[in-house]
């Protein structure tokens, strides 16, 4: 068996930040999961529905791997990404990294991983691989999935080769930290303002605060939209709270990021953002509860109430991001002699 020594195999709540934590800790950078998520400008929102979808999708973060790219840019990391259509070459990319003493991140479809109890296709799942032998891969996944886990190489190959929404071409990646990498604290303000600007000015109405507003109009119709309302509504609620989001569709993670930032930067706008995202996190959890209740009872009024809360959330998050988008000017003024 070939393994990278000294890898921390504890899992976190979200898959991409879990993998990033493994890779960065191995390079000597230790950051909390909320800080990884926030410095990667990870928060977003998307309401997505299409004719080929069984049920609408609510997403609370940026697209798969965008968080990794954002974080690498923010921290000045040396991000090496490999993609190929060849399964043989893809595996050689992984073993070369491990043989060189580096854990490697993999993007794949979690449906093919046998340790997942829920069999749902998700091509944007990310794990860290730190070892292998002739039949088995040694992975770090989220705490919910067990942290340190194993899977057969055949299953891993199928997961990496999967095609469909959010999948990549056998993507693997490693990170390095140059000597002149910036201090993470110095990257908080640009990460926060970049996230806020993207949220406030989405290119289409399905995204950002406009997407939440659209969801507020569409969620009350979900009872009629679902092929199997009991199943589909309960599944949607479960994914919002327990689908690797950290609860409240990633708002708990962003709330905790802002709380950590207020301990590092004295800012009224940060405190405003924190207060509003504390409110938003609670409202998202209540929204998930109402959607789940609609699935269990068939009461469409639960969806109507959920839609009303989503309307409030569109306003609350817009106000939060408006405050945070002006953080740079406030901090610059405070820094003047």
- For the chain, list the domains and their CATH numbers: 2-30+78-176 (3.90.70), 184-335 (no CATH)
| pLDDT, tens only, 47-75 | 999 888 889 999 999 999 999 999 999 99
The pLDDT of residue 119 is: 83
Is the full-model pTM beyond 0.85? yes
Over residues 317-324, mean pLDDT:
98
- Phi-psi domain of 224 (left: phi exceeds 0; alpha: psi -120 through 50; beta: other): alpha
What share of the chain in percent tops pLDDT 90? 93
- Asked whether the predicted pLDDT for residue 5 surpasses 80, the reply is yes
Per-residue pLDDT tens over the stretch 81-115:
999 999 999 999 999 999 999 999 999 999 999 99
For the chain, the residue count is: 337
Element (H, E) at 104: strand 104-108
CA dist., res. 60 & res. 67, Å (int): 12
Q: What pLDDT band is residue 328 in, cutting at 50, 70 and 90?
A: confident
Q: What is the mean pLDDT of residues 240-245?
A: 95
Quick check: 9 pLDDT over 90? yes
**What distance in Å separates the CA atoms of residue 248 and residue 240, rounded to the nearest whole number?**
6
- Indicate the DSSP class of residue 103: -
**Contacts with 163 (C-beta within 8 Å, 6 or more apart), sequence order:** 123
* Spatial contact of 202 and 211, defined as CB atoms under 8 Å apart: yes
Q: For residue 64, which phi and psi values (nearest 5 degrees)?
A: -50, 135
Rounded to the nearest 10°, the torsion over CA 194, 196, 200, 203 is 30
What CA–CA distances, in Å, run from 284 to 58, 102, 240, 332? 12, 38, 8, 33
Query: What is the distance between the alpha carbons of residues 132 and 331, in angstroms, rounded to a whole number?
Result: 47
Q: ∠ CA(286), CA(289), CA(293), 5° rounding?
A: 140
Give the Cα separation of 314 and 300 in Å (integer).
Answer: 21
Query: Residue 118 — pLDDT band, cuts 50, 70, 90?
Result: confident
Q: How confident is the model at residue 333 (pLDDT cuts 50, 70, 90)?
A: low
The tokens for 302 are 């639960």
User: Cα–Cα distances in Å, from 107 out to 129, 174, 292, 296, 329?
Assistant: 11, 12, 29, 34, 37
Q: Is the pLDDT of residue 332 over 60?
A: no
**CA separation for the pair 299, 316 (Å, rounded):** 27
* pLDDT, tens only, 120-148: 899 999 999 999 999 999 999 999 999 99
- In sequence order, the 6+-apart residues with CB closer than 8 A to the CB of 97 are 103, 104, 172, 174
d(CA 127, CA 137): 11
Q: Report the distance separating Cα 250 and Cα 13, nearest Å.
A: 10
- The mean pLDDT of 6-26, rounded to a whole number, is 97
Of 21, 105, 23, 37, the C-alpha closest to 74 is: 37
């Amino acid at each position: 068996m070939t393994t990278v020594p000294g890898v921390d195999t504890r899992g976190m709540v979200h898959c991409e930040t879990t993998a990033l934590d493994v890779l960065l800790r191995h390079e000597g950078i230790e950051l909390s999961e909320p800080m990884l998520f926030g410095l990667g400008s990870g928060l977003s929102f998307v309401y997505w529905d299409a004719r080929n979808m069984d049920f609408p999708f609510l997403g609370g973060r940026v697209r798969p791997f965008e968080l990794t790219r954002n974080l690498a840019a923010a921290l000045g990391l040396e991000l090496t990404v490999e993609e190929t259509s060849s399964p043989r070459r893809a595996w050689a990319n992984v073993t070369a990294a491990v043989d060189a003493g580096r854990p490697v991140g993999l993007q794949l479809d979690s449906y093919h991983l046998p340790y997942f109890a829920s069999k749902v296709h998700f091509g944007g799942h990310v794990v860290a691989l730190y070892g292998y032998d002739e039949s088995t891969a040694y992975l770090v996944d989220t705490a919910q999935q067990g942290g340190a886990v194993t899977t057969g190489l055949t299953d891993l190959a199928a997961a990496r080769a999967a095609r469909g929404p959010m999948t990549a071409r056998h993507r693997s990646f490693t990170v390095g930290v140059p000597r002149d990498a910036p201090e993470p604290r110095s990257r908080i303000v640009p990460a926060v303002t970049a996230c806020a600007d993207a949220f406030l000015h989405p290119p289409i109405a399905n995204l950002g605060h406009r997407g939440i507003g659209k969801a507020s109009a569409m969620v009350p119709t979900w009872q009629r939209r679902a092929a199997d309302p009991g199943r589909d509504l309960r599944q949607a609620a479960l994914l919002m709270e327990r689908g690797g989001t950290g609860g409240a569709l990633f708002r708990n993670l962003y709330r905790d990021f802002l709380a950590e930032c207020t301990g590092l930067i004295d800012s009224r706008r940060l405190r405003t953002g924190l207060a509003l995202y504390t409110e938003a996190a609670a409202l998202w959890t209540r929204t998930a509860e109402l959607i789940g209740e609609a699935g269990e009872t068939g009461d469409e009024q639960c969806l109507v109430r959920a839609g009303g809360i989503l309307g409030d959330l569109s306003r609350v998050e817009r106000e939060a991001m408006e405050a945070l988008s002006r953080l740079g000017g406030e901090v610059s003024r405070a820094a003047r002699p």
